[in-house]
Chains A and B, each alone.
Chain A
């Protein structure tokens, strides 16, 4: 406030007075800042430690909208974590991108390779190849954070590179539940009032020692100063796994959990509520039922009274060795029950997508999770992710959400199978193609007439809602 008043003064006054007021203002500042002079120097020192390792990221992302595959340039933030050129950003920034351009702090522009990306923690690791030894950040710890502690966010809000903002931790372990798809099953979030905006995604949240304590990822839209960062402890595990194996492997049992408070307010109640058991999952085959209470996984005691305890339970399951036998200690109707089962590897919710441009639509692989959400009893077919307005598919009535079960009476089990059948028909110029399609509980026949007169359809601009 004071500073801005002085600035507006400076603009009105002659150079002589300029110096005069500048001196005054410096004096005033000096006077005011005695209390926090340490703070100012800490902020500067912390910024100086991290700023050289900052990266402005410009990926070209592959998106599927309105039945077409498009590539759109986007902007995000990232930071270098090793002198040989590993960098960290968000999965939602660099995932599904065909090329990732990085601008380093010395303005060098260099192309990075995506080493791997993990949607469950929203972490992506990039690598640049360079002979120079790069400046890099150091990791702090996120389990010792407390609210009120000062933190800074660095990055490129709205593409404005080299931006720094200061704030405090509002809540160190905020639980964000399902928002359509589960956003972060394995972690709570650091909530901060340090300004975070679109474009900050993938940038570091640092403490005043200049250590990275979080990866800025999300904001609450419509709110102000409510930003969220992934705690570095959880990010670090994902980063290490990606560098080692290119991805994060997790175990899956097919269990969905709820906090004990969903069933009882009794503080002495122990365990976690099993809310749902996925069909065809190890847990279902072992006879686990919704309503059972899970008390122990092998030797590990699990307990979730409130929903913010749930990420730890989910992580305890995910961290189990894949393909190994595990014992679950359950409580069913007051009686202890023990079941043993074998863990499976968790597969991605989101399947790959392909554009079928000749027919004007895009389709995605039907993953077990998508099949479950579509309430299908078996995993088969391909999921239509969009149809281009005015295209052949759209004219035949094929729409987003349809599940194609058969093409010309041949069952289509995978996207690869469908792509192959599509290629054959496009090459042989088959005019009429019959699809057998499921939507909800109802199936129907959809006939594609690939020689409809207006095949060169309007190029509709539909990109405006993508950020």
Chain B
């Protein structure tokens, strides 16, 4: 009997302590308050998405739902970055906002996607000025390991998209490439882009996922695990929404034309350099400003315009890339180079950054079923194409088209169409125009697939 009651006591005590620990983390009152404060700013975004299969070029449409946060009273919305990917186009946005007992619905438009964080911004379209309840983000509030956090999201359609709260914890904090707070696994879709609150009730960020490198994420993207995007990572976009900010057009970006790696300790030791840190030039792109300046692989960049460069980590390479990119083309840059033990100074005139595949021009020919793009510098590097390879690259094949039937695939480089050589998009268009006049029953396409060239025979239905 005595033992039994002792056990009972212990259980009760444990239960008490457990409750105490929980209460210490998040009082129900705090959660209720968070809900009250935020549920009107957490809204349901519906949209239509068109995804292109990068291999077949096949396009598929589906309707989707996501969490959107109202981040300004005038109707700036923030949602997840997966709405806009290289092969995914979302449109037909509508946002549903709870206002007391009332439900408001507005159309919305997508703004330019920020490059530095995987979030999307949208703007509500309304004829009348809006004054919506919105999420106020707290700055400079670092989360600690193990610290409990609360999320305000939406439940599924079966639950009428009712707003709900969830308590999670910071399970890990990664230091590189930037401070990354991890949540527990299994974040439901209704909590992606939900506000993250600390125990003091401050909104310190939003929950989200980074992009996989396949989806266009950076080399060090922490894809696949739910994270907290802290306020500092996106607040500048809230303050200056993307379409209003003066976006540097790609044409204004500069490039040097090198690949570099950091001069780590052992590398410095190998080359007998007393002080590690710097950028080892590993590749010099042909016909680039770097090549013209006389840079060769093995050179070590130790200073740029007099400022010392002491990169030791891979991510510090990106800082250099960013600095070059943000310079103006035609800027004359003085590079302090360590070459075979001697210090030399080279002068490079930065060039205009070549257009990337993202901004590449595209031409569609419905009859043959080809969507082609110019071969941009990044694609050339990616596919390891020599400078002598000229043509246009197949971006997409229209399903069931003559090109599809002939077995053509995205990624193939078209070098000839009919009797016409194809060097660029103009030639492609000219060749297509000629074919439209002569309407041959079969069209021969000279193309390059990987390292090999060959022919495809297309039978267009004019």
Interface residue ranges, A against B (CB under 8 Å): 256, 258, 261-265, 273, 275-276, 290-291, 333, 372-375, 377, 409, 432, 434, 436, 440-445, 447, 449
Contacts and interface: CB of A to CB of B under 8 A. Distances in A.
A372 B451 CA distance: 7
Interface stretch (B238-246, B263-271, B345-353): B263-271
A443 B283 contact: yes
B386 interface: yes
20 contacts: A263-B457, A264-B442, A273-B455, A276-B454, A290-B446, A290-B454, A291-B416, A372-B451, A373-B450, A373-B451, A374-B451, A432-B270, A436-B297, A440-B381, A441-B380, A441-B382, A442-B283, A443-B297, A444-B259, A445-B298
A263 B455 contact: yes
B320 interface: no
Contacts of B264: 447
Contact of A265 (B269, B442, B456): B442
B71 to A, nearest CB: 40
B442 to A, nearest CB: 6
Given A375-B385, A440-B382, A445 B282 contact: yes
B446 A291 contact: yes
Given A441-B380, A442-B283, A275 B455 contact: yes
Q: Which of A333, A375, A409 has the most CB of B within 10 A?
A: A375
A-B CB proximity, top 3 nearest: A275-B454, A444-B282, A440-B384
Nearest to A433: B270
A375 B454 CA distance: 16
Nearest to A408: B270
A125 B451 CA distance: 33
Given A375-B385, A442-B381, A445-B280, A256 B457 contact: no
Interface in B379-436: 380-382, 384-386, 416, 419
Given A264-B444, A375-B451, A432-B270, A445 B261 contact: yes
Contacts of A445: 261, 267, 280, 282, 297-298
B452 interface: yes
Contact of A290 (B259, B450, B453): B453
Given A263-B444, A265-B457, 20 more contacts: A256-B452, A256-B454, A258-B454, A262-B457, A263-B455, A263-B457, A265-B459, A290-B446, A291-B416, A291-B446, A372-B451, A375-B385, A375-B386, A440-B381, A441-B380, A441-B385, A444-B261, A444-B282, A445-B297, A447-B270
Contact of B381 (A275, A276, A374, A441): A441
Dominant secondary structure of chain B at its interface with chain A: mixed
B267 A447 contact: yes
Contacts of A276: 452-454
A432 B283 CA distance: 22
Contacts of A375: 384-386, 451
B160 to A, nearest CB: 47
Interface size class of B (residues with CB under 8 A): 20 to 34
A452 to B, nearest CB: 10
B282 A261 contact: no
A262 B458 CA distance: 9
B318 to A, nearest CB: 16
A264 B441 CA distance: 10
Given A291-B446, A444-B282, A447-B267, A262 B382 contact: no
Interface string B88-112: 0000000000000000000000000
A291 B416 CA distance: 10
Contacts of A264: 442, 444, 457
Contacts of B455: 258, 262-263, 273, 275, 291
Contacts of A434: 270
A428 to B, nearest CB: 15
A372 B452 CA distance: 9
A375 B455 CA distance: 19
A377 B386 contact: yes
Contacts of A261: 457
Contacts of B459: 265
Interface in B219-271: 259, 261, 264, 266-267, 269-270
B448 to A, nearest CB: 9
Contacts of A409: 298
A361 B266 CA distance: 21
A434 B385 CA distance: 27
Contacts of B382: 440-441
A442 B259 contact: yes
A274 to B, nearest CB: 10
B261 A441 contact: no
A262 B456 contact: yes
A449 B270 CA distance: 10
Nearest to B270: A432
A290 B416 CA distance: 11
Nearest to A373: B451
